[in-house]
Amino acid sequence: MFVIFLIFVEIFLAMSDVLNNSAIVKNFSNFLEKGNYRKTPERFAVLSKALAFNKPFTAEQLCQQLQSDAFKVSQSTVYSNLELLTKAGILCRFFNEGLQKLQFTRISEVKFIHLVCLDCGKVKTVKDLALAEELHAKRYAAFSEQYRIMCVNGLCNTCARNKKKQNIKTKKEL
């Protein structure tokens, strides 16, 4: 009985994600019409692949995903369409100091904290609603906030262990 319930929950979550994505596609289509932008297959392919990421991503990663699906699109097209998606309010961008790269994430995921490893660049996303609400309550004079992204830079467990091993090895050699 419990297994059936879990299967039902998985199906429901998949359906809600599809419905949410179709609403995003419709909003993007409306944005393109209002801004007199052309509705090209490349734009919708970039949108589709961007929505498929469940963590922050770079433009290069998006290009690789498109190319692995045998979709021919230039890197400049990807960059310009990521800017359009940001302008449309679907994605937000932030600079990942660990990777020294610009990354993108869905606007709906800004209540998450991104834990960024400064060594390997791995990003782990954690949800902290209490902190998100506390930050949301903060107001700034003469500034209209659009969204907030919080990145905590440090070392992941793997890199911290490796550094510790290297330090122990170095001390033994001395």
% of the chain exceeding 90 in pLDDT: 13
Give pLDDT, residue 5: 44
**Mind spelling out the 3-state secondary structure of the chain?**
CHHHHHHHHHHHHHHHHHHHHHHHHHHHHHHHHHCCCCCCHHHHHHHHHHHHCCCCEEHHHHHHHHHHCCCCCCHHHHHHHHHHHHHCCCEEEEEECCCCEEEEEEHHHCCEEEEEECCCCCEEEEECHHHHHHHHHCCCCCCCCCCCCEEEEECCHHHHHHHHHHHHHHHHHC
Residues 129-163: tens digit of each pLDDT: 787 777 777 777 787 776 677 778 888 999 999 88
Q: How would residue 80 be classed by pLDDT, with cut points 50, 70 and 90?
A: very high
Global pTM value: 0.62
Mean pLDDT of the chain: 78
Whether the per-residue pLDDT at 83 is higher than 60: the answer is yes
